[in-house]
A and B are shown apart, each in its own frame.
Chain A
Amino acid sequence: MTIASFDQVEFGDELPSFTPDTGLENVRRFAKAAQMMAKRFTDHEGARKEGLPGAMVPGVMSQAILTAMIHRWAPEAALVKIDTIFRAPVMVDEAHEVNGVVTDLDEETKTAEIDLTITNGAGETRVLGTATVRLP
C-alpha cells in the first residue's frame, strides 16, 4: 500500500522493507554515476589493501536506498531531512535489509519522522538514522 496523504499515516506504521541490490556490479554503476570510483567501493581486493574486509557500499548510496524506500511508500512525500549514522560498513555482495518505521507525527506541519535502518544478514544494524518527510 502506498501513502497518498498525511491522514493515512499512523505512529508505528512500518514502511515496506526490501533487500537492495548491493552486488558489486550495481555498486560500480552507482560509483561511476556519482564519479566516486574509489577501490574501496568498486574492488574487493583494492578495499582489502586499504584495510577493509572488502568493498563497501558508499554512504551516499545507502542514503539513496533509504530515500528510495520512503518514496516507494509515499510517492508524493517531500524529503525535508535525512540524517544517517554509519555504525559499520555496508559490505558489497552481502545481503542487507532496509527498514523504516514512523516514530513521530506533527499534524500542524503534516510531517512524519521515520526511523531508518540498514541491517545485515546477522541482524546487525550497519546504518541507522531518521528522516523527516512532509506529506500532502
Chain B
Amino acid sequence: MILDLHSHSIVSDDGRAKVPNYCQWIRKKDLPLDGFVLTEHRKFDFDSDYSALATEFDLTILKASEVETEYGHVLVFGVTRALTEAFDFSDIGLPLAKVLEESERHGAVAVPCHPGRTRVGMCAHVESLGIPAGVSIVEVFNGGSRGTEDDAARALAETQGYRGIGGSDAHIVSHIGRCATAFPGAIGTEAELVEALQAGEFEAKSWKSKSSESSS
C-alpha cells in the first residue's frame, strides 16, 4: 500500500488545496497512490470528516500534524485529543525531546520532516544542538525539497540508522503524490499507520525525477 505521508489542505494557513480535489487529481492522473495523510501545520484537524470522500474515491485519507521544534518541523502520526493537551501544537518553538517523549507516551510517532532544509530541517541544527535522542524515522524524500536537501536527509538517515519515509509536502492539488511511502500491508486508520511505522517495514519513494527513486 502506498501512502503520501505529508500533505496540506486549506486547513493549513499556507495550504491551497481542497481535499476533494486531491482525490479527483489522484484518480484523474492515475497516480500510484492508495491514499494520503493530511499533516496540517501547528494543529490537528479534529473537525473534518473525510470518510465519505474516502469511500467515494476508494482512497485512505488520514489525519496527522506538522509541528515546529528547535530542530525544525516534525510530523506527528497518531494524534489523539490527549496528545494535543500534552503540548501546545501551535507553539513554534517546541522542544523536540518533549514532542518525541509525549508522542511515544500517547502511542503516536514523531518524524522530523525535510531534515535537509535550511532553518526548518534537523540537519541545520545538529551542529549546534547535537544529535537528538529518540529519533528513529526521518523524512528522506520530500516533494518540496530543493538542491541537495533530500541527499542530506538520506545521508543523515544512513549515518544515524534512521528509517526513511516519503511525502509530497503538497500545498497545491497538483503536487500530491510526488513522494510517498510504501507499506507491505493495508492501512485504513491512524492507529494502523502508527503500527506500521513502529514495525519499521516501509520504503520511501520519490517520483520527482523521471526515474523513480526508493530508499528504505
Contacts and interface: CB of A to CB of B under 8 A. Distances in A.
Interface of A: 11-12, 83, 85, 87-88, 101, 103-104, 113, 115-117, 122-125, 128-130
A11 B28 contact: yes
Given A12-B29, A123-B209, A128 B175 contact: yes
Contacts of A123: 208-209
Interface of B: 14, 16-18, 21, 24-25, 28-29, 144, 146-147, 171-175, 208-209
Nearest to A128: B172
Contact of A103 (B14, B147, B174, B208): B174
Given A85-B171, A113-B21, A128-B16, 19 more contacts: A12-B25, A12-B28, A12-B29, A87-B144, A103-B17, A103-B21, A103-B24, A103-B174, A104-B21, A104-B173, A115-B16, A115-B174, A117-B172, A117-B174, A122-B146, A122-B147, A128-B171, A129-B172, A130-B172
A112 to B, nearest CB: 12
B146 A85 contact: no
B126 to A, nearest CB: 23
B173 A103 contact: yes
Given A123-B208, A125-B144, A115 B18 contact: no
Nearest to A85: B14
B174 A101 contact: yes
Contacts of B14: 85
Contacts of B29: 12
A129 B28 contact: no
21 contacts: A11-B24, A11-B28, A12-B28, A83-B16, A85-B16, A85-B171, A88-B146, A101-B174, A103-B25, A103-B174, A115-B172, A115-B173, A115-B175, A116-B172, A123-B208, A124-B147, A125-B144, A128-B16, A128-B175, A129-B172, A130-B172
Contacts of A117: 172, 174
B115 to A, nearest CB: 17
Contacts of B144: 87, 125
A27 B21 CA distance: 35
A116 B172 CA distance: 9
Contacts of B175: 115, 125, 128
A11 B14 CA distance: 23
Contacts of A115: 16, 172-175
A124 B146 contact: yes
